């Protein structure tokens, strides 16, 4: 029936709005309101008030049998796109909240918490999955063999390592360098989002499946998504292969280079004079 289809549409839109609210909660936003110009906040979204019943939602002129309900009835239920706005938080404040983290079992075997490293005013940010053995010892991301390759990639697009920002989805090394579990990633992700809001990079390069899926919530594999800019709430995101994968399969370096050239060209085209 038509009324049932309308109710299904309403429930679907309500589900989308709840997903938007879950994202806001990850960023630590307690309240929601409409976006106003020049208002500094991490994110905001309009949450409509649902009608008490389907019948009450339908204007009297539309309740007669066989009449069609205007699609405009549900227009105000469409969630607004969330844009990440500049945060005034410092990394030190974010890291203080992390503390000597014991939120997931990874803390039991770690040597150090590996925080995001680099230029806190960077236009470009790289995000990997988790620290390895070298990173765990030195308390810096991407310092092992994969990190050395990443440094060469950064230099190949005309930048220096100290000009970009480098981090991971997880800050503690998983045993045997395995990928972090969804539960482990969920513990760290809110802090990464807060760092992104504080720096406001123009482009984020996500390295490998784990980083891509955790940041973009995509189900596709990296081979299908890489090379194409994605949108993460107003921030351009380029998925590409992880440097550790390139060490195992050097034939993928050409594709990675093509991906990073797109990033370079975009940054060059949008550079402020």
pLDDT tens for each residue of 90-149? 999 999 999 999 999 999 999 999 999 999 999 999 999 999 999 999 999 999 999 999
* Phi, psi (rounded to 5 degrees) for 201: -65, 150
Give residue 25's Cα distance to chain centre. 14
Q: CA 66, 69, 71 angle in degrees (round to 5)?
A: 145
The C-alpha atoms of residue 211 and residue 169 are separated, in whole angstroms, by 6
Encoded tokens for 38: 């020049």
> What's the mean pLDDT in 251-258?
97
Would you list the domain boundaries of the chain? 2-77, 91-269
Q: Class assignment of domain 91-269? A: alpha beta
Q: CA 141, 146, 152 angle in degrees (round to 5)?
A: 95
The C-alpha atoms of residue 62 and residue 184 are separated, in whole angstroms, by 50
pLDDT value of position 29: 45
**b vs e for 25-50, b when ≥16 Cβ sit within 10 Å of the residue's Cβ?**
eebbbeeeeeeeeeeebbbbbebeee
Say if residue 77's pLDDT is above 90.
Answer: no
Say if residue 76's pLDDT is above 50.
Answer: no
Encoded tokens for 23: 């994202």
- By three-state DSSP, how is residue 128 classified? strand
Say if residue 268's pLDDT is above 90.
Answer: yes
Lowest mean pLDDT among 40-49, 118-127, 216-225, 264-273: 40-49
- By three-state DSSP, how is residue 71 classified? helix
Tens of pLDDT, residue by residue over 163-190, are 999 999 999 999 999 999 999 999 999 9
pLDDT value of position 6: 65
pLDDT value of position 2: 53
* Phi, psi (rounded to 5 degrees) for 219: -95, -20
* Phi, psi (rounded to 5 degrees) for 154: -60, -45
From the list 271, 107, 101, 93, the residue with the least C-alpha distance to 195 is: 93
Say if residue 246's pLDDT is above 50.
Answer: yes
Burial class (CB in 10 A: 0-12, 13-18, 19+), 232: middle
pLDDT value of position 68: 41
Mean pLDDT of the chain: 81
Radius of gyration of the chain from its Cα atoms, rounded to whole angstroms? 22
> CA of 132: how far to CAs of 103, 113, 114, 125, 246, in Å?
19, 11, 10, 19, 16
From the list 219, 270, 261, the residue with the least C-alpha distance to 238 is: 261
Segments in 82-181 forming alpha helices (H) = 91-98, 133-138, 145-156
Instruction: Say which residue the tokens 């899926």 belong to.
Output: 213
């Amino acid at each position: 029936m038509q009324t049932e289809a309308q109710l299904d549409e309403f429930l679907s839109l309500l589900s989308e709005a709840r997903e938007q609210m879950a994202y806001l909660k990850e960023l630590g936003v307690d309240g929601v309101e409409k976006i106003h110009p020049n208002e500094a906040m991490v994110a905001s979204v309009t949450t409509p008030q649902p009608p008490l019943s389907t019948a009450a939602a339908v204007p009297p002129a539309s309740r007669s049998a066989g009449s069609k309900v205007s699609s405009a009835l549900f227009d105000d239920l469409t969630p607004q796109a969330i844009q990440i706005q500049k945060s005034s938080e410092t990394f030190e404040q974010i890291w203080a909240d992390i503390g000597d983290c014991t939120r997931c079992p990874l803390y039991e075997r770690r040597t150090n918490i590996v925080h995001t490293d680099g230029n806190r005013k960077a236009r470009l940010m790289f995000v990997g999955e988790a620290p390895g053995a070298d990173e765990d010892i030195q308390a810096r991301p991407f310092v092992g063999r994969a990190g050395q390759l990443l440094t060469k990639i950064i230099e190949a697009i005309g930048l220096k390592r100290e000009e970009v920002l480098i981090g991971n989805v997880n800050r503690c090394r998983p045993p045997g360098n395995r990928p972090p579990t969804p539960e482990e990633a969920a513990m760290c992700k809110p802090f990464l989002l807060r760092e992104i809001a504080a720096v406001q990079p123009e482009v984020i390069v996500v390295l490998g499946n784990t980083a891509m899926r955790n940041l973009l919530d995509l189900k596709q594999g990296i081979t299908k998504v890489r090379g194409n800019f994605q949108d993460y709430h107003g921030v351009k995101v380029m998925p590409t292969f992880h440097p550790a994968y390139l060490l195992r399969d050097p034939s993928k370096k050409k594709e990675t280079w093509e991906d990073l050239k797109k990033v370079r060209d975009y940054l060059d085209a949008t550079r402020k004079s």
